[in-house]
Amino acid sequence: MADLRSLLIEELQDLLHAENQLVAALPKMAEAAHLPRLKETFETHLAQTQNQVTRLEKAFELLGESAEPKPCRAMQGLIEEGQERISEASEKDELSADLSLISAAQKIEHYEIAGYGTARVLAFQIGEREVGTLLSHTLGEEESSDYLLTAVAKPLLQDATTGEHPAKGQRNGKSNRSKQLLNA
């Protein structure tokens, strides 16, 4: 018979490593973001991610296992890509830099949605309902975060296309190079 419990533990170890890396990466992403709403989205997700680490630790405790992260190469790659976007941001106009950060963040979210989706199913399948419920909460947060990033990107895409959008007034005091480029 397949050992679903071992599969669940492996998924949780992978997710713990992923979340720990994200706790370190999200403040840098928030700092690199130009649009205040995007900064805020990353900051909110940082607080959620810290709580998600606590939930994972609780899940290990419920399963009687130690909370050992297992290096997750997929997430390492996605985060490296995010770091690249941050270092390239200064060479880009603000709109492109923000859209590029959103794209990197959504790839991370989709990876997590896949991981939590699988882990939740495994937990319920082996009768670990409390663990399954904890994972469901986190899955809901990851899905909301993905949805929010799409909502933040929408006016930016409109701005990039037309040069006019309501979020423009929400920008911080830095010069709007993207607008200058659009008007050039």
Place of tokens 């010069």: 175
Residue 112, burial from CB neighbour count under 10 angstroms (0-12, 13-18, 19+): buried
Intra-chain end-to-end CA distance of the chain, in Å = 66
**Which is closer to Fe ion, CB of 67 or CB of 182?**
67
And the tokens for 3?
């050992």
**Which is closer to Fe ion, CB of 94 or CB of 109?**
109
Single-letter amino acid code for the residue at 184: A
Rounded to a whole number of angstroms, the minimum distance from the CB of residue 179 to Fe ion is 34
CA–CA separation, 107 vs 112, rounded Å? 9
CA–CA separation, 43 vs 115, rounded Å? 22
**Which is closer to Fe ion, CB of 41 or CB of 52?**
52
Rounded to a whole number of angstroms, the minimum distance from the CB of residue 5 to Fe ion is 23
DSSP state letters, 5-38 = HHHHHHHHHHHHHHHHHHHHHHHHHHHH--SHHH
**Which is closer to Fe ion, CB of 83 or CB of 158?**
83
Q: For binding to Fe ion (CB under 5 A), which residues are involved?
A: 49, 52, 112
Rounded to a whole number of angstroms, the minimum distance from the CB of residue 116 to Fe ion is 8
Determine the angle formed by the axes of helices 36-62 and 94-125, rounding to 10 degrees.
Answer: 20
Rounded to a whole number of angstroms, the minimum distance from the CB of residue 125 to Fe ion is 22
**Which is closer to Fe ion, CB of 41 or CB of 49?**
49
And the tokens for 173?
């005091």
Rounded to a whole number of angstroms, the minimum distance from the CB of residue 112 to Fe ion is 5
